[in-house]
Amino acid sequence: MIKRTHALILGLLMVFILASGALASDVKVYKSPNCGCCTSWSEVLEKDGFNITTEKRSDMQSVKDTLEIPVLLRSCHTGMVEGYVIEGHVPASDIRRLLKERPDIKGLAVPGMPVGTPGMEQGGRKDSYNVIGIRKDGTTFIYNSYPQ
């Protein structure tokens, strides 16, 4: 009887963990060896529960070319999570939404390096910016806007 009770509790616990999204997703981050804001963005994601692996690359343009990230959407670092491209300082909440909804798109981007985005914090200043969805055909749409 005790073994059955333990199995039931363990099963219920696993259902809760899976339903809550508590299992961490792995994000592979490609970054320049000397970029501090890329490291800061990775740390923000890590604090939010993502598992981060970093690959330092001196040829970031070739990474972006290989992943077919539109030139106007490029930023300093590129991430990959569960088959999606994450370009630039995309907030963790938008990545979590992406992984929950699973749209049929290539990924998300925050072009450039807007002040106030995750990893680009500078005091109280926060620039307005959009998180851009990238469709598989390269067209784009606004996925989210900040400030909200």
Percent of the chain past pLDDT 90, that is, above it, reads 76
pLDDT of amino acid 23: 65
Per-residue pLDDT tens over the stretch 2-19: 566 555 555 544 544 444
Phi/psi for 59 (5° steps) reads: -115, 55
Mind listing the domains of the chain with CATH numbers? Answer: 24-146 (3.40.30.10)
Helix (H) or strand (E) holding 75: none
Helix (H) or strand (E) holding 141: strand 140-146
With 0.75 as the threshold, say if the pTM is over it. Answer: yes
Identify the sign of the CA torsion 12, 13, 18, 21: positive
Per-residue pLDDT tens over the stretch 34-90: 888 889 999 999 999 999 999 999 999 999 999 999 999 999 999 999 999 999 999
Q: What is the DSSP letter of 125?
A: B
